[in-house]
Structure 1
Amino acid sequence: MDLHVRYEGDDDPKKCTARKLARFDMATLHETARATPYGVVLNPHAEQALSPADDDHQTLVALDCSWETAERAMFEMDGDHRALPFLVAGNPVNHGRPFQLNTAEAFAAGLHILGYPNFAERVMGKFRWGHTFLELNEEPLRRYANAEDSTEVVEIQQEYLDMAEE
Structure 2
Amino acid sequence: MTADRDADGRRGGREYDIHVRYEGDDDPKKCTARKLAKFGLADLHRSDRATPYGVVLNPHAERALSPADRDASNLVALDCSWESAGEAMFSLPGDHRALPYLVAANPVNFGRPMELTTVEALAAALCIFGRNDRAEALLSKFTWGHTFLELNEEPLRRYADCEDSTDVVEIQREYLERGEG
Q: TM-score, normalised by structure 1?
A: 0.98
Query: Which residue matches 2:58?
Result: 43
Written as runs of structure 1 = structure 2, the 5 A alignment for 1:1-166 is: 1-164=16-179
Shift of 1:118: 0.5
Aligned length: 166
Percent identical residues:
71
Shift of 1:2: 0.6
Structure-2 separation of matches of 1:69 and 1:40: 21
Deviations 1:36-82 (A, max 9, x none): 00000000000000000001101000000000000101000100000
Structure-1 separation of matches of 2:69 and 2:56: 11
Structure-1 separation of matches of 2:87 and 2:176: 23
Where 1:48 maps in the other structure, the secondary structure is coil
Q: Letter of the aligned partner of 1:3 in structure 2? A: I
Shift of 1:140: 0.2
Any unmatched runs of 5+ in structure 1? none
Shift of 1:164: 2.0
Structure-2 separation of matches of 1:155 and 1:108: 21
Structure-2 separation of matches of 1:59 and 1:17: 18
Where 2:159 maps in the other structure, the secondary structure is helix
Deviations 1:93-149 (A, max 9, x none): 000000000000000000000111110011111100001111000000000000000
